[in-house]
Amino acid sequence: MGAIILLHRWLGIAFCVLFAMWFASGIVMHFVPFPALTEAERFAGLAALDGAQVRISVGDAVGASGIANATRVRLIQRSDGPAYIVSGPSRVRAVRASAGTDASVRSSEVALALAREHARLRGVDATHAEVMARADDDQWSVPNGFDRHRPLFRVALGDVAGTEVYVSSLTGEVVLDATRNERGWNWVGSVVHWIYPTVLRRHWALWDGVVWTLSLLALIAAVLGAVLGLARLRIPGRHISSPYRGWHALHHVIGLVATAFVLTWIFSGWLSMDHGRLFSRGQLTPAEAGVIDFSPDWTTAPSLDRKPMSSATREVEWFAFDGKLYRRERLGLGKQFFVRAESGESEFLSEPEIGRLMARLAAGCGAPSILADDDDYPAPSAVAHAPVYRSRCGDVWFDIDGADGRVLQRLDPSRRAYRWAYSALHTLDFPVLLAHPLLRDVLIVGLCALGLVFSVTGIAIGWRRLRSTFAA
């Protein structure tokens, strides 16, 4: 017991401020997420395609891109003309649809024009827009998902909301936006919660190790505190009491009340940094990826392009699914249709198409079924009302987006367990609470506030201990 007391005391002194930061920033993060460009925002910034300017085929665009293993190609209208966006497993390139030349962005003037057009289409005033920087990363663009777009042009739109957008130098697309409000709240939200300063986060492995280690030590401190709190509990007669007084008593009592929440929240927070250490990562195996994300024969694409695109089309995408090429035309955020070489048009992929792919992917796959909105393992499509199909292949489940054929989730038993051990415990996204969002908001704020008060009592005790130690 003496060792537990000593270890808890000094771990508590070392981590009490961090605990307080996590609880306080957790409240902020629940209401203000990390800056991101939503699909609705991205699509709102797309102009209608001018088919008259498209003079090369998608196959020629793939050849001009230099990406031999291209898996998807999109066609969008930029302010400087239509461009094919060719994507491979690790690279992305833009090719001018008028001439087949490189369409990457090298000058600030072009980046500024692209940002202004994007803002205009979204109804944002960009009269006073200016390029602020061209850099590999900053506080809001440091996540690894932007690696294939670096360097990025950061453009301040000069609007009332203080919006800044980031233009990819490789594709010319706006890939991120952040308003003044989002940036301000995230300094006291995600940045402190994730220990996310750019100087640390740009070195992913170092950041991952630091945060994982700190979270583990914090978990050990919390477990020792729970053991000590229960061991020191007094029950004379039928009354529960604490042997402590003042701040110690308050810390003891609140700790006992909040024990279950603090332990599960710190534990699940530690699991947020698991990254394959204890649980699977939910990634496709190389064999599965070879079936789902393979590079097709792009010379067959012209067979899909005999039907001219609609004048209302704002994005066209070509991709392979179950060994066949598809052309996907998007006319609105929730309005699209597929063109197939053999079976005509439809709004979304069908259940038989999903089933045929799954039969090639793995043995023993059952017939796919449409995922319910309130499923325990949700996987929403980026397109409103698009079906998401789940196919169970033994103990591994695959969720496939009927809107674009992408695998949204690969759920083996380990990943399904992780959904409850991390997501449910840390964000309280239990189905019953998701059905009552206001109740979930109240619980999250209330429990984090309780944890914050608990942490403040630890700070007060730790400060007194340090003063008495060094004064002596």
Look up residue 364 and give its two tokens.
């023993």
Q: What is the pLDDT of residue 435?
A: 94
Q: Give the pLDDT band of residue 237 (cuts 50, 70, 90).
A: low
Q: At 336, is the secondary structure helix, strand, or coil?
A: strand
pLDDT at 238 over 70: no
Instruction: Find residue 328's DSSP bridge partners.
Output: 317, 338
CB neighbour list of residue 424: distance below 8 Å, 6 or more residues apart: 268, 430
Domain map (residue ranges) of the chain:
2-32+195-280+434-467
How many Å apart are CA 21 and CA 219, to the nearest integer? 15
Separation in Å, CA 259 to CA 129, 212, 234, 358: 51, 21, 17, 45
How many Å apart are CA 137 and CA 153, to the nearest integer? 10
Q: Is 362 buried (19+), middle (13-18) or exposed (0-12) by CB count in 10 A?
A: middle
| List of E strands, 117-169 | 130-135, 152-156, 164-168
Separation in Å, CA 98 to CA 84, 121, 373: 10, 22, 42
- Cβ neighbours around 144 below 10 Å, total: 10
**Please, what is the end-to-end C-alpha distance for the chain in angstroms?**
25
How many Å apart are CA 299 and CA 293, to the nearest integer? 18
Which H/E stretch holds residue 282?
A: none
Residue 363 vs residue 16, higher pLDDT = 16
Q: Give the pLDDT band of residue 459 (cuts 50, 70, 90).
A: very high
Per DSSP, 90 falls in state S
Q: Is 157 buried (19+), middle (13-18) or exposed (0-12) by CB count in 10 A?
A: buried
Residue 12 vs residue 417, higher pLDDT = 417
Could you tell me if 114 and 172 are in contact, meaning their C-beta atoms sit under 8 angstroms apart? yes
Mean pLDDT for all residues in the chain? 94
pLDDT at 472 over 90: no
- Cβ neighbours around 336 below 10 Å, total: 21
Could you tell me if 446 and 430 are in contact, meaning their C-beta atoms sit under 8 angstroms apart? no
Q: Give the pLDDT band of residue 236 (cuts 50, 70, 90).
A: confident
The distance from CA 244 to its chain's CA centroid, rounded to whole angstroms, is 45
Q: At 94, is the secondary structure helix, strand, or coil?
A: strand
- Amino acid, single-letter form, for residue 470: F
Residue 311 vs residue 387, higher pLDDT = 387
Least confident of 127-131, 167-171, 233-237, 380-384: 233-237
Could you tell me if 326 and 339 are in contact, meaning their C-beta atoms sit under 8 angstroms apart? yes
Q: At 200, is the secondary structure helix, strand, or coil?
A: helix
Look up residue 382 and give its two tokens.
């980026």
Which H/E stretch holds residue 167?
A: strand 164-168
How many Å apart are CA 103 and CA 86, to the nearest integer? 11
Segment 402-414 mean pLDDT: 96
Q: At 180, is the secondary structure helix, strand, or coil?
A: helix
Question: Which one, of 158, 160, 154, 191, lies nearest residue 176 by Cα?
Answer: 154
pLDDT at 235 over 70: yes
Q: What is the pLDDT of residue 50?
A: 94
Q: Give the pLDDT band of residue 85 (cuts 50, 70, 90).
A: very high
- Phi and psi of 365, rounded to 5°? -80, 130
Q: What is the pLDDT of residue 342?
A: 76
Segment 334-368, tens digit of pLDDT: 999 999 877 778 999 999 999 999 999 888 899 99
Q: Give the pLDDT band of residue 465 (cuts 50, 70, 90).
A: confident
Segment 418-442, tens digit of pLDDT: 999 999 999 999 999 999 999 999 9
Of the chain, the percentage scoring pLDDT greater than 70 comes to 99
Least confident of 90-104, 237-251, 446-460: 237-251
Segment 110-156, tens digit of pLDDT: 999 999 999 999 999 999 999 999 999 999 999 999 999 999 999 99
Mark out the alpha helices in 338-412 (DSSP H runs): 351-361
Which H/E stretch holds residue 35?
A: none
The distance from CA 262 to its chain's CA centroid, rounded to whole angstroms, is 25
